[in-house]
Structure 1
Amino acid sequence: MYNKFLKKHSPIKRLGQNFLKNSFIISKIIDQMNIQYQDHMIEIGSGLGALTVPISQIVKKLIVLEIDEKLVFFLSKNIFSNIVRIFLVNALNFNYKLFLKKYDGILFRIFGNLPYNISTLFLLKIMKVNEYIFDMHFMFQKEVADRIIALPNTKKYGRLSIVTQYFYNIKIILHATQEDFFPKPKVDSTFLKFIPIFKKKNIKKYLILLGYVTQIAFKNRRKIIKNSLGILFNEKTLLSLGINPLNRPENITVLQYSKLVDLIILENLL
């Protein structure tokens, strides 16, 4: 079924469609996710059902968000309709909070082979509903995954690293090559696991402020912190938080950036 439709379907470039086709990679992903019958799952972008079909055979219910009408029609004809609920929708426009809060006390597991052209935007959007999420598993372009997991004092460490690592514990599950997809992308990929770090804070407000502070800090990576963040914090304040004013933005840890945001909120600096 899958291979037959794979040959017929013409991937839509503007939707970033690169379908996972390597059965070994698919099996390993499902094995590493450790899916249980009672899990509440949401898939972002089903594609041709490489993950949708086997996962629908494990869980009681699966929710799928897919933007491509043809793929929605294909899946609706070829999977268990009583198990899988498919929404024809752009994942970036879906109201996750409105949908998830209907399931009082239930934490969802979200997964998908994300289109490279929306992966970062989607990740920043889904962070805002962390209180409803048990864990997440996503395929990213390797370069983006490297930035997400990058550590301080490295070239790839930046705003995306800081924001994601503040809200999640992140683990590499596996790497996938260009050959594992159809059509073949120009880059390799990495499958990551995200476990939310629950904090009793206004997530949306904190995300905005963390984004603001890191935007100023990384506007010029070569500037030392006392100069780039001087409009918000004086040298004495930085030292009181254990931050060397002579360090550059890539030398400051996630915890130290979070302390700066805590201070902004505490003293109402903005």
Structure 2
Amino acid sequence: MHAHRPRKRFGQHFLHDAAVIAKMVSAIAPRAQDTLVEIGPGLGALTLPLLARVGRLHVVELDRDVIPRLQERCREAGELIVHSADALRFDFAALAPPRGRLRVVGNLPYNISTPLIFHLLEASHAIADMHFLLQKEVVDRLVAAPGSGEYGRLSVMVQYRCRTEALFRVGPGAFNPPPKVDSAYVRLVPLDTPPHPARDETLFAALVNQAFTQRRKTLRNAVRHLADADTIRAAGINPGARAETLGVKQFADLANLIAERHA
């Protein structure tokens, strides 16, 4: 078989650094009883060591050209269950075992990482944890605290549902072709119950989105279609504050007050 050339339209950057791969596997700490699914296995750099540890592995791969190579590489390693599909439309919850949860891993294509994380959050009830190699800038946003430049809609929406932890940084040289940016490895652990539950999660998402769409504006102006200054004040928040200074709890408190006042 001729060598597979990474394809731009799939945002492919294949991992080849053995030390980085070993660190990733060690962070995942896979066990034989785990139901593990890898997104975008590519040529199997992470797939092989995972399969060797768990014996059975689901993979979701969009690029049909790499699938025969992947199957060939993994033939002796264990049972590889290939789902030839677009991860953005794939039903991950359907893979969860009857009495357990899925573990999701992947070296995610940069161009779909944010929408893919949002898609996975919808199935978070069926997921035990997620380990992803992402653009470092995305990881910075996932773990950012209020008041920092990286903090935004992604930070709030992910931290509402998950415990987030940046694990380590990965340089461009670990990939072929090398990306133009640094990457980082992140762990996301869905929480059984959000620590600050929103009564209406659709309203909560709309509020967060509205607040950060015009992040330079004060809250009073940014969310005026959803809440007036009095409502913001009644939630214990300064209407003159900016969205990036509010924690998840404050967004949930405000969303709950809006829901209550419109009930």
Query: 1:202: Cα distance to partner?
Result: 9.9
- Aligned-pair RMSD on alpha carbons? 2.1
- C-alpha distance in 2 between matches for 1:132 and 1:202: 18
- C-alpha distance in 2 between matches for 1:266 and 1:136: 34
Single out whichever of 208-217 and 129-138 deviates more from structure 2. 208-217
The list of structure 1 runs, each at least 4 consecutive aligned residues, that deviate by more than 6 angstroms after superposition, is: 200-203
Q: Which amino acid aligns with 2:225?
A: I
65, 68, 74: which one pairs with 1:70? 65
Query: 1:260: Cα distance to partner?
Result: 2.2
1:51 maps onto 2:12 in alignment: no
The 5 A counterparts of 1:228-247 are 228-247=222-241
The corresponding residue for 1:167 is 161
Name the % identity.
35
Query: 1:11: Cα distance to partner?
Result: 0.8
SS at match of 1:38: coil
166, 173, 179: which one pairs with 1:179? 173
Query: 1:232: Cα distance to partner?
Result: 2.0
Query: 1:80: Cα distance to partner?
Result: 3.8
Single out whichever of 143-152 and 72-81 deviates more from structure 2. 72-81
Query: 1:26: Cα distance to partner?
Result: 0.3
- C-alpha distance in 2 between matches for 1:209 and 1:21: 43
Single out whichever of 173-182 and 220-229 deviates more from structure 2. 220-229
The corresponding residue for 1:188 is 182
- C-alpha distance in 1 between matches for 2:22 and 2:153: 33
1:260 maps onto 2:260 in alignment: no
TM-score, length of structure 2 as denominator length: 0.92
Q: Which amino acid aligns with 1:37?
A: A
- Conserved in 2, the CA contact under 8 Å of 1:38 and 1:60? no
The corresponding residue for 1:90 is 86
The corresponding residue for 2:126 is 132
TM-score, length of structure 1 as denominator length: 0.89
The 5 A counterparts of 1:32-47 are 32-47=27-42
- C-alpha distance in 2 between matches for 1:96 and 1:36: 20
Residue segments in structure 1 that go unaligned for 5+ positions in a row = none
Residue segments in structure 2 that go unaligned for 5+ positions in a row = none
SS at match of 1:117: helix
Question: How many residue pairs get matched?
Answer: 260
